[in-house]
Amino acid sequence: MKLAQGISRLGTETAFAVLARARALEAQGKDIIHLEIGEPDFDTPPHISQEAAQALKQGYTHYCPSPGLEELRAEVAREIERTRGITVAPGRIVITPGAKPILFFAVLALLEPGDEAMYPDPGFPIYQSMINFVGATPVPNPLHEELEFGLDVRELRAKVTPRTKFIIINSPHNPTGSVLKESDLEQIAEVAIENDLVVLADEVYSHILYEGEHHSIASLPGMLERTILVDGFSKTYAMTGWRLGYAVLPPELVEPITRLIANSFSCTAPFIQRAGLRALTGEQDSVAAMVGELQERRDLIVDGLNAVPGISCVRPRGAFYVFPNVKALPLDCRRLADYLLQEAGVAVLPGTDFGAQGEGYLRLSYANSKENLRRALERIRKAVASL
């Protein structure tokens, strides 16, 4: 069978490949501590699951409008006003099974071969994968450890060409946990307006923030009409397997992306959308409790990694990842990740899984118990000492 050329340009998330290897080792009897998968280890709050069960009984099992249930779109609009201070009409919101379809559909709707799109490096690998898939040119914007994995907007500005169409930003950030400053967002907005660019703002970790407030570039003057704001339920409400996300779109993109939805998955499961509605309107104590626990884990793992000779780790301000510097160790990051899995029983990801700028780093998810994090740190310390 001859595959289309485009499929060879499509990447993947290597976290799932590492998870498979780790599971295979577990099947052989090896004890593995999982720090590779970016998924909250908390249960979905019971009131959300109960709402889904009730919605099934009420018959929310049939097709619904492709952009989503009207009541959920309206509540998402209220959520955006509550959390970003932005007033948007529900008609500018589309609901999808997770946030990834929005990333893909935005690229499909806006980019053609010959166009350029900027994305953070290190960054979520699907950004580059999707840009490559449509035949456009991915242009990495490096994030710098000395800036707490922030963006040097001067570098971004210098990379803009007449072919640039699109800038992707992600804050709080996967894989580093960094958070863009409001001044950085203002400068990125200036670049976008001056060059007539669209910004895709991936804000799926917006509620997992330990210091300060979340700022959205869409709230800045002139940016709502050129920003695709992406968020979802997976991280905030521990609903990764439910697959529920949404976007606030510029008016010109609502119809094209609705058509892409109709051509691909028709609609998002209505009973799951009802669960999302309950998530937004129900109590939020479980979210606050989860973030508080994650902050304690962050401090535990950052302090523990910084105590290991040869490793240094910036303290992230959001999400649930650390991105320690391992350049002083004798193995490159990929071989080091393999070594830690095979010899120490700790599953982590090499920084290069997130772009070339990730060489010399590892990504660890601290969405695991404090007991397991302490065990992992002790195993890492012993394994590094043996190099």
What pLDDT, in 10s, does the model give residues 173-198?
999 999 999 999 999 999 999 999 99
Give per-residue pLDDT as tens, 141-172.
999 999 999 999 999 999 999 999 999 999 99
Residue 13 pLDDT > 80: no
Read off the pTM.
Answer: 0.95
Two tokens, residue 64: 């619904």
Average pLDDT over the chain, rounded to an integer: 96
Residues of the chain with CATH 3.90.1150.10: 5-43+285-385
- Residue 69: partners with Cβ closer than 8 Å, 6 or more residues away: 95, 270, 273, 274, 277
Picking from 21-25, 46-50, 364-368, which range would have the lowest pLDDT averaged per residue?
21-25
Residues of the chain with CATH 3.40.640.10: 47-281
Q: Which CATH architecture best describes the domain 5-43+285-385?
A: Alpha-Beta Complex (3.90)
Residue with tokens 């449509």: 134
Give per-residue pLDDT as tens, 117-149.
999 999 999 999 999 999 999 999 999 999 999
Q: What is the pLDDT of residue 143?
A: 97
Instruction: Return the sign of the alpha-carbon dihedral for residues 72, 73, 78, 81.
Output: positive
Of 186, 188, 179, nearest to 148 by C-alpha is 179
Query: Span 193-210, mean pLDDT?
Result: 98
Query: Span 318-340, mean pLDDT?
Result: 97
**CATH code for the part of the protein at 47-281:** 3.40.640.10
Angle at 204 between CA 91 and CA 324, to 5 degrees: 165
Provide the percentage of residues in the chain whose pLDDT is more than 70: 100
Provide the percentage of residues in the chain whose pLDDT is more than 90: 93
